[in-house]
Amino acid sequence: MLVFEAKLEGKKQQYERLSEAIRTARFVRNSCIRYWMDNKGVGKYELSAYCAVLAKQFPFANKLNSQARQASAERAWSSIARFYDNCKKGKPGKKGFPRFKKHQTHGSVEYKTTGYKLSEDRRTITFTDGFKAGSFKLWGTSDLHFYQLKQIKRVRVVRRADGYYVQFCLDVERIEKREPTGKTIGLDVGLNHFYTDSDGQTIENPRHLRKSEKALKRLSKRLSRTQKGSKNRGFARNRLSRKHLKVSRQRKDFAVKLARCVVQSNDLVAYEDLQVRNLVRNRKLAKSISDAAWSAFRNWLEYFGKVFGVVTVAVPPHYTSANCSNCGEIIKKSLSQRTHRCHHCGFVLDRDWNAAINILELGLRTVGHTGTLNVSGDIDLCIGGETSQCKPSRRKRKPKE
Ligand SMILES: [Zn+2]
């Protein structure tokens, strides 16, 4: 599955209609969750049938394209299915009981093959369902020309802090050729460096993370000083969410470039299977930002692994830093201890380097467990940002008439 993204350019009134469509999609999803909670044993097909009931009951739900309603029901089902799956697997801790979605700055609605029309030159898109959002100019994707309209399986409208975007999901398996390099690599995530690899090389944390951390702090402080319900609060919130958007774009840019480079120069990449979600809840902003950067990096590693036919292995993170990579003895150390000193065989190495070697070894030994990412399902894994041509905000715009 390939995803292309473009910014939608239209009039304010049109945006409001898109927003309405997004709100309706959320309503359908939430109603499906409610229906599932109230009726025992409801499955995927019952939910999809329930969409028609909703459309009859609520005129505004009827305005939404019927396939888009189905897609919202499918979303509800996927969060239910994930919950069931977590319960079945006996995952410790929270099982992720499906929750209702609240109104947020970001949101999306997904169309399948109807409800929109792409123009012949593929520069405008027209939404044709009951919300009558009309035609929008597409900014920032020229890649669409290489594919046939039949290949577009889904069209997603995404609302972000700085505007509305459309994502085209194409039914194309992206495979690229690559000569084997005969190299393998293990990566250890550290506090001081972004990662240390099994050859002892380190990649520093990108400097912009620190910068944006400061800016985020300042903006969120400003938001908390404004009065609830005031106009200023609205402005402050928008500024903060735009900053968050910028940070996430920088993070993505960094992750994509680095992941591509790592995958292209190795035949196997091993890294720790960290429960990133737990880490992100950490109070420290800086830590949570670098964790998010790591999880983005990991997603792209797995994505490029598929594209280039490189094995990516997530190994269990236990004892990776304690084990001696030379003799296998367990050498316990505290977090502040930066060097690994084995009193068994006398081996001395940087702590993270030692861990990276262990991770590589574990990765080489593991067979059958590779990355767990489902590439097609993730909104953030959009090809657009990978190439520099897709930066709609950089380009000069024509003034609106
Ligand atoms: Zn040793």
Q: What is the pLDDT of residues 139-167, one digit of tens each?
A: 887 677 788 888 889 999 999 999 999 99
Strands (E), 83-239: 107-111, 116-118, 124-127, 134-139, 152-160, 163-170, 184-188, 195-197, 202-203
The rounded Å distance from CA 321 to ligand 1 centre is 12
The rounded Å distance from CA 64 to ligand 1 centre is 64
Q: Is the pLDDT of residue 11 over 80?
A: yes
- Give pLDDT, residue 287: 63
Q: How far apart are CA 349 and CA 346, in angstroms?
A: 10
Q: Is the pLDDT of residue 12 over 60?
A: yes
Q: Is the pLDDT of residue 308 over 60?
A: yes
Q: How far apart are CA 359 and CA 323, in angstroms?
A: 10
The rounded Å distance from CA 190 to ligand 1 centre is 21
Q: How far apart are CA 241 and CA 247, in angstroms?
A: 10
The rounded Å distance from CA 269 to ligand 1 centre is 24
In whole numbers, what is the pLDDT of the chain averaged over residues? 83
Best CA proximity match to 49, nearest among 22, 76, 18: 76
Residue 259 CB partners (closer than 8 Å, separation 6+): 297, 300, 301, 303, 304
Least confident of 17-21, 91-95, 107-111: 91-95
The rounded Å distance from CA 323 to ligand 1 centre is 8
The rounded Å distance from CA 359 to ligand 1 centre is 16
The rounded Å distance from CA 344 to ligand 1 centre is 5
The rounded Å distance from CA 181 to ligand 1 centre is 30
Best CA proximity match to 67, nearest among 150, 154, 171: 154
Would you kindly state where each structural domain of the chain is located, as residue ranges?
2-170, 184-370
More confident position, 335 or 169? 169
Q: How far apart are CA 126 and CA 137, in angstroms?
A: 9
Alpha-carbon radius of gyration of the chain:
24
The rounded Å distance from CA 197 to ligand 1 centre is 19
Which residue shows structure tokens 């992206």?
Answer: 174
The rounded Å distance from CA 266 to ligand 1 centre is 27
- Give pLDDT, residue 388: 37
Nearest 5°: the CA angle 323, 316, 347 is: 15
182 φψ region: left (φ > 0), alpha (ψ -120 to 50), beta (else) = left
The rounded Å distance from CA 148 to ligand 1 centre is 59
The rounded Å distance from CA 277 to ligand 1 centre is 33
Contact 345, 326 (CB under 8 A): yes
Contact 193, 204 (CB under 8 A): yes
The rounded Å distance from CA 182 to ligand 1 centre is 27
Query: H or E element: which one contains 313?
Result: strand 311-315
The rounded Å distance from CA 351 to ligand 1 centre is 13
